[in-house]
Structure 1
Amino acid sequence: MRLPCSHIFCKRQKTCPCCRKEVKQKKMVHVNKLRKLIGRLEVKCKNAEAGCLVTCPLAHRKGHQDSCPFELMACPNEGCTSRVPRGNLAEHRQNCQHGAHQRCPLGCGATLGPAERASHNCYRELRKAWCQRQERSRTLVLCLLRRMRKVYRSANHIRRQLAQLGELLEEDDALLLGAPQEEAEAPPRRQHWG
């Protein structure tokens, strides 16, 4: 980028790194000839300190980095946080403790160790998982049936008690309703004062 102050730099900034004048983005100009020239400059791989001896044009550095055997890569094994050079990744995966158990690549959900992978049968694993779920379902159904029976017995007991309570209330109502009629039929009592 060429700045209005005529200084040229590779990255956009708010101020010129040389004279510190404030720069507006609209005033920056791409200098394509310089970009091509800079892109042809031979540079070392960013992994040179790790041992990579490759030098390539700056424009091709990213392409090399994507295949550089010294580029640090995250281990793909679930739970492993190691970062190892790409060239050592295959060996690391074989010896990685997190790689000892991996999920079935066919998707049945089973976790497999190295010895189990060769003899793994998804159908057998899925049938085993299905049988375990069936057994859990049976256990739940039996538990629910026991609870329903208990609720049914409790409901019947409450119904009987309510019926008895209803009978008692009817008897009380009959007594209460019958008392005023008897009083009305009886001759009035005379009250004596004194």
Structure 2
Amino acid sequence: MSGGYDLNLFTSPPDCNFLCSVCHGVLKRPMRLPCSHIFCKRCILPWLARQKTCPCCRKEVKQKKMVHVNKLRKIIGRLEVKCKNAEAGCLVTCPLAHRKGHQDSCPFELMACPNEGCTSRVPRGNLAEHRQNCQHGAHQRCPLGCGATLGPAERASHNCYRELRKAWCQRQERSRTLVLCLLRRMRKVYRSANLIRRQLAQLGELLEEDDALLLGAPQEEAETPPEGSIGAEMGGPRAKLPCK
């Protein structure tokens, strides 16, 4: 795989001094060997991994003595190049160093459809139209992150602030309903507890009355003399009185 830039990428043929002797492309990340020969970094490193000599002069090379040629890299970066999508219709030309920036905004750059399940790749300039007509885009989540699921007809009028406020109001209403339900249950528990407390108090009073009756009955029996005790006393022998 070539390590340098393709010659067809440039608007005019580059100088021969800018070519790599290994890949015959324009130097990319050029590196100079101790013998002064210059190669693409991606070309010379695999070469030296197989043999330790320069591809041109066959002199022995030590990797520690190789250096990056940044000045030459900047000169090559100013060469005029065509857009990567020139064959698709893009007529823009720019310096090689700016090619990546143009590619990120080129309307002819092929882009993957963001709709889940769609495998189409369409030019960036046609992506918006494709998304509106995409069969996989019937319902999509809002790209701004509000969480709403939108259909094709809703996307144009969608407002994240309105959707978030609506969701917040719905959540507040659910919370209010839950709080009221909880208060009703607490009141019911409170009334039941009061009823049980009153019943326990009444039961305690009844038990106290029963205890008082049980404790008073033996005393009354003790105070009442037994039957026949008076007759026994009267019919018994009289005490002898001393004679005068």
TM-score after normalising by structure 2: 0.43
Q: CA deviation at 1:60?
A: 1.0
Conserved in 1, the CA contact under 8 Å of 2:112 and 2:121? yes
Conserved in 1, the CA contact under 8 Å of 2:85 and 2:109? yes
- Which structure: larger Rg? 2
Deviates more, 1:103-112 or 1:120-129: 120-129
Query: C-alpha deviations, 1:6-55, integer Å up to 9, x for none?
Result: 32123399986656888654332111221121111111111112111111
Q: CA 1:165 to 1:30, structure 2 compared with 1: closer, same or farther past 3 Å?
A: farther
Q: CA 1:112 to 1:63, structure 2 compared with 1: closer, same or farther past 3 Å?
A: closer
Conserved in 2, the CA contact under 8 Å of 1:40 and 1:59? yes
C-alpha root-mean-square deviation of aligned residues, in Å? 6.9
Q: CA deviation at 1:57?
A: 0.9
Q: CA 1:60 to 1:112, structure 2 compared with 1: closer, same or farther past 3 Å?
A: closer
Q: CA 1:106 to 1:44, structure 2 compared with 1: closer, same or farther past 3 Å?
A: closer
Q: CA 1:17 to 1:156, structure 2 compared with 1: closer, same or farther past 3 Å?
A: farther
Which residue of structure 1 lines up, in the alignment, with residue 34 of structure 2?
4
Which residue of structure 2 lines up, in the alignment, with residue 138 of structure 1?
176
> Which of the pair is proportionally richer in helix?
1
Deviates more, 1:10-19 or 1:126-135: 126-135
Conserved in 2, the CA contact under 8 Å of 1:13 and 1:23? no
Q: CA 1:181 to 1:28, structure 2 compared with 1: closer, same or farther past 3 Å?
A: farther
Q: RCO (CA 8 Å, sep 6+): is it higher in 1 or 2?
A: 2
Q: Distance in 2 between matches of 1:155 and 1:111?
A: 49
Q: Distance in 2 between matches of 1:151 and 1:127?
A: 36
Q: Which consecutive aligned stretches of 4+ in structure 1 deviate over 3 angstroms post-superposition?
A: 12-25, 104-112, 115-189
Deviates more, 1:80-89 or 1:102-111: 102-111
Q: Distance in 1 between matches of 2:89 and 2:168?
A: 53
Question: What SS class does the counterpart of residue 131 from structure 1 fall into?
Answer: helix
Q: CA 1:23 to 1:144, structure 2 compared with 1: closer, same or farther past 3 Å?
A: farther
Question: What are the equivalent positions in structure 2 for 1:122-133 lying under 5 Å apart?
Answer: none
Q: CA deviation at 1:174?
A: 44
Question: What SS class does the counterpart of residue 114 from structure 1 fall into?
Answer: coil
Q: CA 1:53 to 1:32, structure 2 compared with 1: closer, same or farther past 3 Å?
A: same
Q: CA 1:47 to 1:117, structure 2 compared with 1: closer, same or farther past 3 Å?
A: closer
Q: Distance in 2 between matches of 1:5 and 1:171?
A: 122
Conserved in 1, the CA contact under 8 Å of 2:32 and 2:66? yes
Q: Distance in 2 between matches of 1:179 and 1:21?
A: 133
Conserved in 1, the CA contact under 8 Å of 2:32 and 2:69? yes
Percent of aligned positions that are identical: 98
Deviates more, 1:19-28 or 1:2-11: 19-28
Q: CA 1:118 to 1:140, structure 2 compared with 1: closer, same or farther past 3 Å?
A: same
Q: CA 1:45 to 1:119, structure 2 compared with 1: closer, same or farther past 3 Å?
A: closer
Conserved in 2, the CA contact under 8 Å of 1:3 and 1:29? yes
Q: Distance in 2 between matches of 1:19 and 1:151?
A: 99
Question: What SS class does the counterpart of residue 107 from structure 1 fall into?
Answer: coil
Q: Distance in 1 between matches of 2:145 and 2:40?
A: 48
Q: CA 1:34 to 1:138, structure 2 compared with 1: closer, same or farther past 3 Å?
A: closer
Conserved in 1, the CA contact under 8 Å of 2:34 and 2:61? yes
Q: How many residues align?
A: 189
Q: CA 1:160 to 1:79, structure 2 compared with 1: closer, same or farther past 3 Å?
A: farther
Give structure 1 stretches of 5+ with no counterpart.
Answer: 190-194
